[in-house]
Amino acid sequence: MLLYILKRIVSAISVVIVTLVASFALFFLAPTDPAGVICGPRCTPTRLADIEQSLNLDEPPLEQIGSYMKGLVVGRDFTSGGVTQHCDAPCMGYSYTLGQPVTKLLKQAFPVTLSIVLGGAVVYLSVGILAGTIAAQRRGTTLDKVTVGTTLVVNSFPYFVLALLVALYATFLPQTGYHSFLDNPLLWASGLVAAWLTLGLANAAAYTRYSRASMIESLGQDFVRTARSKGVPHRRVVYRHGLRAALTPVATIFGIDLAFQLTNAIFTESIFGLPGLGMLTLRAFAQYDLPTLLGSVFVGSVALVLMNLLVDIAYTFLDPRVRLG
């Protein structure tokens, strides 16, 4: 098991490196001009060259990748205008436009996104699994049809439309902005509740359908019939025998979804004004802010490979037949 995890971590690292190199390549292949953006409309060639030099943009791209990777692992020094500044590992450089270390920006933005995504997950897992289980048990009834219909309607709305609708009409929800959980948990929760409901309800639709399908399959299994033949009460048959088996596939989807939501919380963040990873990335895009972009790519790819690993490890607890190795 430990050896397996080690192997997986090694392969995860290589995935992250490939992702970073690919992002670098894409950035330099695209017609980007970060120095020009910083320099502004009244730019002189000397000033442009100065800026390029201070951002290390004058170096060949391969060298830039090299020093970036070095910074990630052991840290690096930046020289700008004769002043040398040391950037500790993991160093992701300085934002071109904000002048702050990317690591610091990510450290501020990540907890916001994580709070949104985890809180939303609590909502959609509980609503989705409960609704899916109930619908599966009453398969074919009006209640089941209404449930499935509702999920289809909710799912056919683009996510940002749903979020806008909540923002426009659910004005009774607190709008206190983001506060750190460590400073004030109550204020933290009240600032996030609208985002949680939006993310939660939109995804609850999909999770209702996953759970319903998984539950219908599991309730048709022979072991459910065995449980009934033992005289096990109906409720216990459904929840202990049926749901237990139905949750494994749902857990797989959840792990992957969680990783994607961490990198795709942009709509939720911008509509509810929460300064998370999505907002940071969007701003970096608009301003050709390569270090910040790379930083969020890094966080996203780490989240993805980490969630994949966690799902696989969770499987050994969910399903005793699974042995990693």
Partner 1 sequence: MTDQTTRAPQTVARAARAKRANEEPYLEVSDLHVQFPTADGLVRAVQGLSYSLPLGRTLAIVGESGSGKSVSSMAVLGLHDAKTARISGSIKVGGREITGLSERALESYRGVDAAMIFQDPQSSLHPYFTVGDQIMEAYRTHRRVSKRAAKARAVEMLDRVGIPNPRRRVDNYPHEFSGGMRQRAMIAMALVNDPKLLIADEPTTALDVTVQAQILDLITDLQRDFGSAVVFITHDLGVVAEIADDILVMYAGSAIEQGPVEKVLGTPLHPYSWGLLESVPALTGEPAPLHPIPGTPPSLLAVPSGCAFHPRCEFRDRVPQDRCRTLKPDLLARTADPGHTSRCHLHEPDQVFQTDISPRLP
Interacting residues with partner 1 (CB under 8 A): 221-223, 225-234, 241, 244-245, 318-321
Give the nearer residue to partner 1 in terms of CB position, either 67 or 252.
252
Residue listed under structure tokens 């690919």: 22
Distance CA 122, CA 198 (A): 12
Q: Provide, rounded to whole angstroms, the least separation between the CB of residue 167 and partner 1.
A: 42
Backbone angles phi, psi at 267, to 5 degrees: -65, -50
Q: Provide, rounded to whole angstroms, the least separation between the CB of residue 218 and partner 1.
A: 10
Distance CA 140, CA 150 (A): 15
Q: Provide, rounded to whole angstroms, the least separation between the CB of residue 238 and partner 1.
A: 12
Cα 141–142–145 angle (5° rounding)? Answer: 90
The answer to whether residues 309 and 238 touch, using CB atoms and an 8 Å cutoff, is no
Q: Provide, rounded to whole angstroms, the least separation between the CB of residue 236 and partner 1.
A: 8
Give the nearer residue to partner 1 in terms of CB position, either 107 or 234.
234
Give the nearer residue to partner 1 in terms of CB position, either 76 or 241.
241
Q: Provide, rounded to whole angstroms, the least separation between the CB of residue 257 and partner 1.
A: 23
The answer to whether residues 116 and 202 touch, using CB atoms and an 8 Å cutoff, is no
Give the nearer residue to partner 1 in terms of CB position, either 185 or 233.
233
Distance CA 149, CA 4 (A): 43
Q: Provide, rounded to whole angstroms, the least separation between the CB of residue 1 and partner 1.
A: 17
Q: Provide, rounded to whole angstroms, the least separation between the CB of residue 231 and partner 1.
A: 4
Give the nearer residue to partner 1 in terms of CB position, either 137 or 151.
137
Q: Take residue 101 and report the two structure tokens written for it.
A: 């270390």
* Cβ atoms within 10 Å, residue 323: 10
Q: How would DSSP label each residue in 32-79?
A: --HHHHHH-SS--HHHHHHHHHHTTTTS-HHHHHHHHHHHHHH-EEEE
Distance CA 149, CA 163 (A): 20
Give the nearer residue to partner 1 in terms of CB position, either 60 or 231.
231
Give the nearer residue to partner 1 in terms of CB position, either 153 or 322.
322
Q: Take residue 32 and report the two structure tokens written for it.
A: 């980007």
